[in-house]
Amino acid sequence: MSVRAMLNGVTECKRLTSSNTIQADFNVILTHFAFLPACIERPKKEGLTLLESFAVRAEVQQKLTSVPGEKARILLNRVLDHNPDLKAMEKISTLMDATARSVPFNMEPADVALF
């Protein structure tokens, strides 16, 4: 890539990012989504329990549902709907947390011990 092409690219980036619309979009992202990278990295940490992982997911879900507009909620629901096993894992995590008063779905007591 030539120096002229690089300079043209830099000039174009400056022009685009100086737009009021782009700046407003950046502000929305910073205001409502800046927490996501840390939440994505946290479950990767070695030694994080299932309960801690679900706490991170609950935090993300709560924050995304408070974002103005429908786009974040629609995307969140689409992701959750494509992960049906997530609901089962969440139920198992309530058993592990000892917050459930009974087994929340059909499961043998011996199976609960496997988790």
The reply to whether the predicted model has a pTM over 0.75 is: no
pLDDT of residue 35: 92
Contacts of 23 (CB under 8 A, 6+ apart): 17
DSSP 3-state percent helix, strand, coil across the chain (nearest 5): 70, 0, 30
pLDDT per residue of the chain (115 residues) written in tens, 0 to 9:
788 888 888 888 888 778 788 888 888 888 989 999 998 888 777 778 877 888 888 899 899 888 888 888 898 889 888 887 887 777 777 776 666 566 556 666 666 666 5
